[in-house]
Structure 1
Amino acid sequence: MSTFQRHLTLAAGFALAFAGTAAHAATPPQAFTATYQVLSDGNPIGQATISLKPVGNGDYAYSNEMKGTSGFAAMIGASSSEASRFRWSHDAAEALTYDYRMDTAFKQIHRHMQVDWNRHTVQVTENRRHFRYAPAPGMVDRNILPLAIGLALQDGGRSVSLPVGVRQRVERQTYQVKGNAAVQVPAGHFQAERVERSDSSNAFAAWYVPSKYPMPVKLAQKGGGDLTLQLVSFRRP
């Protein structure tokens, strides 16, 4: 598996969320588009574009598009897309649908998740395999986690234990602010809050600037490859 494929598998959509014991944020999210540089072992290999927009009735569409632009990732045509729809309920995001697609010249993965809150069911299909389980209140998918943490940080959150709908179950994930650090990325120089996952041994960190952005300015993950995302630009409509 290529380094870019490992990135898509290990860090697709990032993996964060924040605030108290649940990711509650008083302020609803606002539309934006953010672009990131994707690096492996310090070398640029691709680009990610993340966007959020309201679609009516308190629902939102959130997408994350990644594409290999150099090195082996470009040679094999590596790309991935994640698309989520969530509702804003009780001052928090709550998953409705999630679609993930990863394509290379050698491998394809497609996952679809559908949440029916009235029937209290989650149905997941991945490459002809089917899974079904019950959702937990306040459950999000892995794609919208970075937005959940950013909104909560902007409201003063410092830690969270959040239910995340994965392939076969709801997984409880916990993250904490570990301190402040100076960060240099293509978008500029920032004094950021460093966030780490506290319920797992995975080497994972993200840096947020809550006063400016609801998304991290930098994210780094190790395990199957030294992978980093760095903010290039952030804009609102």
Structure 2
Amino acid sequence: MSTRILLAAALALSPLAGIAATASAPRPFTARYQVSQDGQPMGEATVTLRPGPDGSWILRKDTKGTAGLAALLGASTRETSRFRWQGTVPEALSYDYRLVTAGRDKQRHLQVDWPKRQVSVQDGKHASGYPAQPGMVERNTLPLAVGLALDAGRQRLSLPVGVRQTVETETFRVAGTETVKVPAGSFRAERIERSDDARGFSAWYVPGRYPLPVKLAQRDGGNLVLELVTYSQP
């Protein structure tokens, strides 16, 4: 199972002030997706957003294999992000990743020390660090930042993204408007393409309705497709 099946929708906004003036932070939510590979069902993903106990917010994604090889291996991932709002833009505080398959347990932890402007990463037995950048997110919060960016009317997006060993700038563009059908319904959605990377994927968003994509197609890493099943708010 891919370790990036939802995070491939790596889109966001620059500058920060553009979102803060025109979009609003989302309410807590739960979104469920079905995951397929090469047209065959392979798993399901659940994404939740909730306030944390210290004024931060927590975005969690749980993915598990329910069919095919992913189910046979008992594959599952859990990604938990803690972030703060800068205006209505999520800015990273920490990120925890865990992949469990038969005989394997892989973990990674990213922590941002904003007073020192430093990022520390613990990847298994390997530790590294690099300077933080204002407005930085990590991959798990990117889809949320994208929804806010599109709400603000952005057509071309970029954002500093904290990855394993550095902060990289990723850029995207709105490539068109299309009708897509997913288990949650039929939607007139904006299709987003990444413009600084050749690996290729498409993500479809419905600005003003959902802060996450209703569909995502990732060609690199196994032709993975995520489709929204349900979206609810308390």
| Structure 1 portions without partners, runs of 5+ | none
Secondary structure of the structure 2 residue equivalent to 1:143: helix
Amino acid aligned to 1:142: R
**Does residue 1:18 correspond to 2:25, yes or no?**
no
CA contact (8 A) 1:14 1:143 kept: no
Task: Report the Cα offset of residue 94 of structure 1.
Answer: 0.3
CA distance in 1, matches of 2:113, 2:151: 30
CA distance in 2, matches of 1:115, 1:219: 28
Task: Report the Cα offset of residue 151 of structure 1.
Answer: 1.2
Amino acid aligned to 2:232: R
**Does residue 1:180 correspond to 2:177, yes or no?**
yes
Q: Which residue of structure 1 lines up, in the alignment, with residue 122 of structure 2?
A: 125
Which of 220, 229, 234 is residue 231 of structure 2 equivalent to?
234
CA distance in 2, matches of 1:156, 1:210: 9
1:58-73 equivalence runs, <5 A: 58-73=55-70
| Structure 2 portions without partners, runs of 5+ | none
**Does residue 1:211 correspond to 2:219, yes or no?**
no
Aligned residue-pair number: 231
TM-score of the aligned structures, taking structure 2 as reference length: 0.94
CA distance in 2, matches of 1:147, 1:92: 9
Q: Which residue of structure 2 lines up, in the alignment, with residue 74 of structure 1?
A: 71
Q: Identity of aligned pairs, percent?
A: 49
Amino acid aligned to 1:15: A
The RMSD of aligned alpha carbons is: 1.5
Q: Which residue of structure 2 lines up, in the alignment, with residue 27 of structure 1?
A: 24
Q: CA offsets, 1:140-171, max 9 Å, x none? A: 01000000000111121222110000000001
Q: Which residue of structure 1 lines up, in the alignment, with residue 188 of structure 2?
A: 191
**Does residue 1:144 correspond to 2:141, yes or no?**
yes
CA distance in 2, matches of 1:162, 1:184: 29
**Does residue 1:50 correspond to 2:50, yes or no?**
no
CA distance in 1, matches of 2:124, 2:53: 31
Q: Which residue of structure 2 lines up, in the alignment, with residue 111 of structure 1?
A: 108
CA contact (8 A) 2:81 2:140 kept: yes
CA distance in 2, matches of 1:98, 1:131: 14
**Does residue 1:158 correspond to 2:155, yes or no?**
yes
Amino acid aligned to 1:221: Q
CA contact (8 A) 1:19 1:158 kept: no
CA contact (8 A) 2:149 2:157 kept: no
CA distance in 2, matches of 1:57, 1:199: 36
Secondary structure of the structure 1 residue equivalent to 2:143: helix
